[in-house]
Chains A and B, each alone.
Chain A
Amino acid sequence: MEELKSLTTQIRRDILRMVHAVNSGHPGGSLGCTEYFTALYGKVMNYKLPFTMEGKNEDLFFLSNGHISPVFYSTLSRFGFFPVDELRTFRKLDSRLQGHPTTHEGLPGVRVASGSLGQGLSVAIGAALGKKLDGDQSLVYTLHGDGELQEGQIWEALMFAAHNKVDNLISTIDFNNRQIDGDVDKVLSLGNLHAKLEAFGWTVLEEKNGNDLETVISILERAKSETGKGKPVVIILHTEMGNGIDYMMGTHAWHGKAPNDEQLETGLKQLYLEAPADY
């Protein structure tokens, strides 16, 4: 567990350095979801390497809110999908690490392009149905932003998954109440999200402590135990945008803004590791 915690800090260092290097990208949501990613790839999900697009008899993950690509890319590289050194190429010409994730350049670990919000749940449902058609018992995981739920396609997909008993699916909502223009509650409130998701026919789990690694692992394990019961499963995971960097927390300002040189140094000091393995 200590090793996984260090890796979480290492991934946060990667995120900061990646967005700093190109003065663009989305650190806030990436830092808020780091525990989710290390829990998923370090403990919860059964995946195989080397990566294959088909992913037969293994769990699949779809990132629907593609703008948090820094945490996705760092996680994939740290878990062996591609060389860590490739993180240097993030958002640069001729890179496989596009601003938003894509299959177009063949980056291992990515099965669909995302970035235009609201599409990932539908794609994941398709993959989950494909597994059912094949008698493949593995699971499909998705991650969504809370602001992303303002997209109508999400609700089409929520309705479909319940109606069709897509119970090999675990979706997680990164619930940080922040989006580009401010608090989600102020921009366009989701209302009682828990009640809405339940009313849409999903098994709903909620976790207030989404930046504690052990807690995130345990809620994901609980979600796994809820699969196969005729209902899709969703976790409302409360997180802190910008978690780990004091000046990024408590605001939406760092949704899509990179730190300058000084801010990078300050941030890396807060992400202390005895022996950092920076690329």
Chain B
Amino acid sequence: MKYTYTEKKDTRSGFGAGLAELADKNPNVVALCADLIGSLKMEKFIEKAPERFIQVGIAEANMMGIAAGLTINGKIPFTGTFANFSTCRVYDQIRQSIAYSGKNVKICASHAGLTLGEDGATHQTLEDIGLMKMLPGMVVINPCDYNQTKAATIAIADYEGPVYLRFGRPTVPVFLPEDMPFEIGKGILLQEGTDVTIVATGHLVWESLVAADELEKEGISCEVINIHTIKPLDEEIILKSVEKTGKIVTAEEHNYLGGLGESVAGMLARKRPTRQEFVAVNDTFGESATPAELMKKYKIDSTAVKEAVKRILEK
């Protein structure tokens, strides 16, 4: 396998490292947090730029509004809380004060999806990508490892406009090179193949690489594409791949409704109808357990990707 890893790290630490770098790099960056500094790994930013950190308390709606107001004289606010409280709880604040008002706010969301684990379904948002991508003008990014999350955090500061950046709690393989450039809206061809295209985002990227490696041994050749930016979607890289394979599997840690798979299906339906299998949560809430147990039970792990590839080859 072309990609391998020597250590595991959480993607939220990638966010923390990126934000800390921005403290030095960009004097307009302001960080806000709703009582989750440790969970969001914001300590280093606070150490470096205490005057540009705002503790909002457990008041996420107010945080979104304050962030919108800070943009007015050119600040670049990064809000930090869990994904559920970054989206579901504050949807109308984001819609009116940020998206419709065209404000340059970076909504940074940790503990996305099932893999926050034991806290259970109250905290496991599987709807956030859908909610955010439906807002006109909102960029939606779900990086896959520590290095990509760090790079994405730094990259979005230079982009003018609202961004939703989604990352997670558990430690996962760090497999992308540290110096890999991050370009918003540009997919990454991780592995070439000829039989099936696998398009994956977030934690499912590594799972897809593992699945592709195992399938290779069974004589099935998978092309693996990392779509870190769900909106705007890199249509070109997907279309080019399905021209070759004619079959696509999408993989994500989200409800199949509203997620990456749905975006890909919608695009392909318009431009090149293609058989598709969805690796995603099947319109249900999560529950308490370890991340690995949950990924297995809800069929969003490498085994689920392998099964999806086989299903599509049988069709």
Contact = CB atoms under 8 A, between A and B. Distances in A.
A160 B154 CA distance: 29
A122 to B, nearest CB: 2
Given A122-B61, A160-B59, A104 B102 contact: yes
A102 interface: yes
Contact of A113 (B67, B69, B96): B96
Contacts of B69: 112, 122-130
Contacts, number: 111
Contacts of A156: 57, 59, 61-62
B59 A127 contact: no
A77 interface: no
B96 A114 contact: yes
Contact of B65 (A111, A119, A159): A119
A103 B102 contact: yes
Contacts of A103: 101-102
B101 A126 contact: no
Interface in B79-107: 92-93, 95-97, 100-103
A121 B72 contact: no
Interface in A155-197: 156-157, 159-160, 163-164
Contacts of B66: 122-123, 125-126, 129, 160
A153 B89 CA distance: 12
B264 to A, nearest CB: 29
Interface in B201-228: none
Interface residues of A, number: 39
Contacts of B96: 113-116, 119
A133 B52 contact: yes
Interface residues of B, number: 32
A233 interface: no
Contacts of A250: none
B26 to A, nearest CB: 13
Contacts of B97: 112-113, 119, 122-123
B70 A129 contact: yes
A163 B66 CA distance: 14
Interface in A227-250: none
A224 interface: no
Nearest to A111: B72
A60 interface: yes
Contacts of A159: 57, 59
A122 B97 CA distance: 10
Contact of B73 (A118, A119, A134, A164): A134
B62 A160 contact: yes
A117 to B, nearest CB: 10
A88 interface: no
B236 interface: no
A129 B54 contact: yes
B65 A153 contact: yes
Contacts of B51: 133
Interface of A: 53-56, 60, 102-104, 111-116, 118-131, 133-134, 136, 152-153, 156-157, 159-160, 163-164
Given A119-B92, A122-B65, 12 more contacts: A111-B72, A119-B93, A123-B68, A123-B69, A126-B72, A127-B69, A153-B65, A156-B59, A156-B61, A157-B62, A159-B57, A160-B66
30 contacts: A54-B72, A54-B74, A102-B101, A103-B101, A112-B68, A112-B69, A112-B72, A112-B101, A112-B103, A113-B97, A119-B61, A119-B97, A120-B65, A121-B65, A122-B63, A122-B66, A126-B67, A127-B69, A127-B72, A129-B54, A130-B73, A131-B73, A136-B73, A152-B61, A157-B62, A159-B59, A160-B56, A160-B59, A160-B66, A163-B57
